[in-house]
Structure 1
Amino acid sequence: MTAPIVVATDLTARSDRPLDRAVMLAEQRGTRLVVVHALEERADMDLRKQMQRAREALEGMVEDFSVPFELVIERGSAPQVLADVVEAQHAALVVVGAARYNHVSDFFLGTAVDYLVRRAKAPVLVVKERPRLPYDGIVVGTDFSERSARAVIAAAELFDVPVTLVNAFGRPFPRRLGEDASLELGKQWSHEEMARFLASPALAPWLGRITHHSVESDPAGAIEKFAKLYRSPVAVVGSHGWGSIAQVLLGSRASDLLTAISHDILVVRDGLNA
């Protein structure tokens, strides 16, 4: 059996999306789930009673699971508890919901996901859509960096589906060169860099699954455009910390990128061994 998948739940109805996706992925990978709830102490309730209620709620949520699972309830902040469980379980993936922290913008902009991406020793899958089908395509935005290549490899190893690689380019020096010449220069640079990127020996095992595109666009728009090729896509970005997710797709602000993309997003921190 392969390494387990860790999935977070806050015991609310909003957490059904990450749970459903985690079950689907565990079935595909033939692995078990570790379902984690971080218990925050309440002044109006005895801790033992809190633990009992949380366990009863968890057991009700997982009673129809079709895969092996383990329940973990730990005291502490959700990001810290999740990172600790991922490390202890040697997990392949951690799955969280986009609405886990009050509102999607709170989740992406807050320190909670920052901590999780920085500390969890596994890629983080942010589930935004209700799972209806297994993922049938990966869309990776690339800036042609080594970090981006590692994100491609990590995603390709996790999900055995086609990979669409897209570079969003702009028009360099439009005032000096003119709009048409600037567009051609941007397109030429992107094509040349894409060829160099794909020639990397590290990507050789995956080339049969990769199609690539260069498009004049903002980064999130490029991913959204090519995600339409699939019925159930997952977007992929690479990072070596929350502040660096922005660098992956030509300088986009992380908050803008992650909130603008409407699909599930896999964040692969640099330095992880996929």
Structure 2
Amino acid sequence: MAGGQVVVGVDGGEPSAEALRWAATTAARRGATLRILLAYRWRVPAALAPRGGLAEAARELADALVADWGRDAEAAVPGVDVRPAAVLGHPADVLLGVADEADLLVVGTRGRHRAASAMLGSISQQVATRASCPVAVVRGRAEPDGGVLVGVDDSASSGAALRLAFAEAERWGTELIAVRAIEPPLTPPALGLPPVLYDTAEAARALSESAAARVAETGREHPGVPWEFHGVTGDAGDVLCERSGRARLVVIGSRGHRGLAGLLLGSVGLYLLQRAECPVLVAHAEPRAEEAL
């Protein structure tokens, strides 16, 4: 569906510039407005924050910077509707505060100060794990191509990721590659107990068939999207990370826990946010009834 808002957080660093370019292209694909937000703040207690002329000068500088980045986006992707704005506040709080209005939030892998984190900045991680809308963390290859990659299992968050992945593949006019990675059981029977009759191959086959059926069911809602399903043995994080080198985008689900549904990412998601070779899109699922208790 055309329209809506793609919101990107910028700070002037190269990861931020890459995120801006990716967000502008994505907004054009969606027929959406590109909202560019520069959050700035005083690194002193609120009671000591500058006021008057100094505060006004800082606001004018921030406005000028974000306006320049808006013109860069318009030049890179002609025709996109760009709306730049500078906002006083902590970057994560500012972006999370507009999540309910956005169809997609976009951030880079880290802030301007690379020493703060070698791979994923704290602001990017806060936004990716806590936002109420999908979040794209732009990383890896500068201009990724290929299909949309998604990992599937039997969880609610995986279902949300699968639906979002099909929608993205449709927007980009590309294929979807769904992967069900299964780790073989490594725990031996308890000491002193008879071994459990457990057919590992049969269990893996059943899990793969269930995942494939789920992909096929979702795919019927997007008949124009070609898709492939791969049931493989291995660690899901390693498998998806390796395949991300040939993907345009990898889609992952958030993982809820009781009252914090949608606020947490599983270990696979965090692994991909740190190491994937293409942008990572986080789908936030609606909490299950039992998780909301």
TM range (shorter): 0.7 to 0.9
Could you say if the C-alpha distance between residues 23 and 113 of structure 1 is closer, same or farther in structure 2, counting changes exceeding 3 Å?
Answer: closer
Contact 1:242 1:254 in 2 (8 A): no
Runs of 4+ in 1 over 6 A off after TM superposition: none
Q: 2:55 aligns with which of 36, 47, 55?
A: 47
Post-superposition shift, 1:256? 3.1
Instruction: Tell me how far apart the structure 2 counterparts of residues 190 and 47 of structure 1 sit (CA, whole Å).
Output: 59
Deviations 1:85-108 (A, max 9, x none): 333xx3211110002274484774
State the alpha-carbon separation in 2 of the partners of residues 132 and 261 from structure 1: 14
Partner of 2:16: 15
Distance 2:183 2:43 in 1: 51
Output the amino acid matched with 1:214.
G
Q: Distance in 2 between matches of 1:146 and 1:20?
A: 32
> 3-state SS of the aligned residue for 1:267?
strand
Give the match for residue 109 of structure 2: 98
The one-letter code of the counterpart of 2:166 is A
Q: Which residue of 1 aligns with 2:192?
A: none
Unaligned runs of 5+ in 1: 247-251
Hey, what does 1:249 align to over in structure 2?
Answer: none
Instruction: Tell me the TM-score normalised to structure 2 length.
Output: 0.75
Aligned length: 258
Question: Pairwise mapping of residues 52-63 of structure 1 onto structure 2 (< 5 A)?
Answer: 52-63=60-71
Q: Is the 8 A contact 1:41 1:47 kept in 2?
A: no
Instruction: Please provide the CA RMSD for this pair.
Output: 3.1
Flag the structure with higher helix content. Answer: 1
| Alpha-carbon separation, structure 2, partners of 1:242 and 1:263 | 23
- For residues 156-197 of structure 1, the C-alpha deviation after alignment (integer angstroms, 9 at most, x for no partner) is 223422111101111125757x9xx96624532332322442
Q: Could you say which residue in structure 1 is the equivalent of 2:168?
A: 158
Match of 2:220 in 1: 204
TM-score, normalized by length of structure 1? 0.80
Quick one: distance in 2 between partners of 1:262 and 1:102?
21
**How far apart in 1 are the matches of 2:117 and 2:169?**
27
Structure 1: distance between partners of 2:169 and 2:219? 15
Separation of aligned partners in 1, 2:235 and 2:60: 49
Deviation, structure 1 residue 131: 3.5
Aligned to 2:28: 27
Q: Distance in 2 between the 1:39 and 1:192 partners?
A: 50
Task: Give the 3-state SS of the residue equivalent to 1:205 in structure 2.
Answer: coil
Deviates more, 1:41-50 or 1:16-25: 41-50
Distance 1:186 1:243 in 2: 31
Q: What's the counterpart of residue 234 of structure 1?
A: 249
Provide the secondary structure at the position in 2 that maps to 1:16.
helix
